[in-house]
């Protein structure tokens, strides 16, 4: 669901990444495992979509 949410809002993908980081830091849970998962998801999304198309939108 996270990836599908990033695709329509590709322009604000970086924003969503920051929003995802903040709650983990506030909660105090270890940020590294979720961070790796989210960054990996973003990497897959970037590979699936050409960067030019993402920038165009």
Count how many domains the chain has: 1
Letter string b/e over residues 18-44, b meaning 16 or more CB atoms within 10 A of that residue's CB: eebeeebeeeeeeeeeeeeebeeebee
Instruction: Write the pLDDT tens digit of every residue in 1-51.
Output: 454 444 444 454 444 444 555 544 454 445 455 545 555 556 666 665 555
Domain that holds residue 38: 2-49
> Considering the domain boundaries, does residue 32 fall inside one?
yes
> Considering the domain boundaries, does residue 11 fall inside one?
yes
pLDDT of residue 24: 46
> Considering the domain boundaries, does residue 15 fall inside one?
yes
> Considering the domain boundaries, does residue 22 fall inside one?
yes
Where do runs of H (alpha helix) occur along the chain?
A: 2-6, 13-27, 32-48, 51-56
> Considering the domain boundaries, does residue 12 fall inside one?
yes
Taking the model in full, what pTM does it have? 0.20
Sign of CA dihedral 32, 38, 39, 44: positive
> Considering the domain boundaries, does residue 45 fall inside one?
yes
Residue 4 tokens, joined: 């599908």
> Considering the domain boundaries, does residue 55 fall inside one?
no
């Amino acid at each position: 669901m996270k990836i599908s949410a990033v695709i329509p809002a590709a322009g604000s993908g970086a924003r969503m990444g920051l929003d995802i980081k903040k709650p983990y830091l506030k909660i105090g849970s270890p940020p590294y495992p979720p961070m790796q998962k989210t960054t990996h998801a973003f990497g897959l999304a970037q590979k699936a979509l050409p960067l030019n198309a993402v920038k165009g939108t």
